Amino acid sequence: MRRTFLKTTVSFAALSFGVAALAGLGATSQPAAPTAPAAPGVKASPRNSVAADALGLTLGTQAWTFRDRTTFETIDIAAELGLTNIELFAGQSLSPEHKDVKVGPGMAKEHLDALKKKLGERKITASSFGVVGFSTKEEDARAKFEFAKAMGMGAISCEPEFEAWDMVEKLAVEYNIRLAVHNHPKPSRYWSPDIVLEHVGKRAKLIGACADTGHWPRSGLTAGGQREEGAGRDVEPQFKDGGPAPGKPREYLDRPWGTGHGDAKAMMRELVRQGFKGVVLVEYENTEGKELEENVRKCVAFFDSAAAEILKEQRK
């Protein structure tokens, strides 16, 4: 995602660490709830998630997708799209009435309670938050774990400093909260799947990967490259499909799933083949407003259609 560390555009990538590793710790998920009433001004589009549910794939969104609005508004559109899970990001304004309140560690109890109430009303599970950094300062790290605990989250997506690993692993075990190591593009700390595996492979099983597939091609990673041996360590993939921006071949932009240069259906097949069962996060990092909503709606429709096709293939 484009936030705490590098401000970049994204694309879909192919079968590297996050694909070969998508066999999962099994992120927090729940059966798709009936579509809640649409947010004001938003057209309802009920999902058919029967096939995805049968495959054990739950579709959620990274709140950063809807960074052009508040968290409450993001929750509304997620519910209207039929999504059941969300990864919150620190720093998003809470609501139209409380734009000065930022979601994340340090929120007052009244605002935490309001956020929980909103999530409950819209039947959305806040399964994680991120992407955050972890320095060697335990007090700062503990505040992030406390926020996740207060919200009932099962995971934090992160990019820890290498020197912080012993401390953050200790906290992950203490709080029983998973850490999902996220990759930004080269030259960021965890740009390579090999680097991610080097750090998560020797740690507690609570520690895994948040494979941001959109950043791999920006790091020069290609289809089929790096079939690593760390399968089973992915927590919640941030799923994208994209292609070069017009006239800017080195700049990737998100596109509705199935229309970019990445083979989104192959990615989903690989998820299923590896036995991954958990939350797949929609993250869309360009466009805004109604155009953004329609682009994400197309991603949701593709996901459900592809899931139905994959389930049919399995049952032959």
What are the angstrom distances between the C-alpha of 36 and each of 49, 67, 179?
Answer: 14, 21, 30
Is it the case that residue 17 has pLDDT exceeding 80? no
Is it the case that residue 9 has pLDDT exceeding 60? no
Per-domain residue ranges of the chain: 17-33+45-286+294-314
Is the distance from CB of 220 to CB of 37 less than 8 angstroms?
no
Query: Which pLDDT score, from 0 to 100, does residue 316 have?
Result: 85
Q: Which residue has the higher pLDDT, 270 or 112?
A: 112
**How confident is the model over 148-157, as pLDDT tens digits?**
999 999 999 9
Overall fold of domain 17-33+45-286+294-314: TIM Barrel (3.20.20)
Query: Which pLDDT score, from 0 to 100, does residue 41 have?
Result: 47
β-pairing verdict for 242-245 and 248-254: antiparallel
**How confident is the model over 109-145, as pLDDT tens digits?**
999 999 999 999 999 999 999 999 999 999 999 999 9
Distance, CA of 272 to CA of 209 (rounded, Å)? 17
Is it the case that residue 11 has pLDDT exceeding 60? no
Mean pLDDT value across the chain: 85
* Phi and psi torsions of 306, nearest 5°: -65, -40
Query: Which pLDDT score, from 0 to 100, does residue 263 have?
Result: 84
Classified as helix, coil or strand, 249 is strand
Query: Which pLDDT score, from 0 to 100, does residue 63 have?
Result: 98
Is the distance from CB of 225 to CB of 232 less than 8 angstroms?
no
What value does the mean pLDDT take over residues 42-63? 87
pTM check: above 0.75: yes
What value does the mean pLDDT take over residues 157-174? 98
Query: Which pLDDT score, from 0 to 100, does residue 249 have?
Result: 73
Query: Which pLDDT score, from 0 to 100, does residue 31 have?
Result: 37
Is it the case that residue 30 has pLDDT exceeding 70? no
What are the angstrom distances between the C-alpha of 51 and each of 28, 218, 280, 308?
Answer: 18, 32, 14, 5
What value does the mean pLDDT take over residues 274-291? 94
Q: Which residue has the higher pLDDT, 234 or 15?
A: 234
Distance, CA of 242 to CA of 255 (rounded, Å)? 5
Query: Which pLDDT score, from 0 to 100, does residue 231 have?
Result: 58
What value does the mean pLDDT take over residues 174-194? 94
Is it the case that residue 18 has pLDDT exceeding 70? no
Distance, CA of 2 to CA of 243 (rounded, Å)? 17
Q: Which residue has the higher pLDDT, 271 or 160?
A: 160
Confidence of residue 232 (pLDDT cuts 50, 70, 90): low
First-to-final CA distance of the chain:
37
Is the distance from CB of 204 to CB of 172 less than 8 angstroms?
yes
**How confident is the model over 66-92, as pLDDT tens digits?**
999 999 999 999 999 999 999 999 999
Confidence of residue 57 (pLDDT cuts 50, 70, 90): very high
Is it the case that residue 4 has pLDDT exceeding 70? no
Q: Which residue has the higher pLDDT, 151 or 248?
A: 151
Query: Which pLDDT score, from 0 to 100, does residue 293 have?
Result: 97
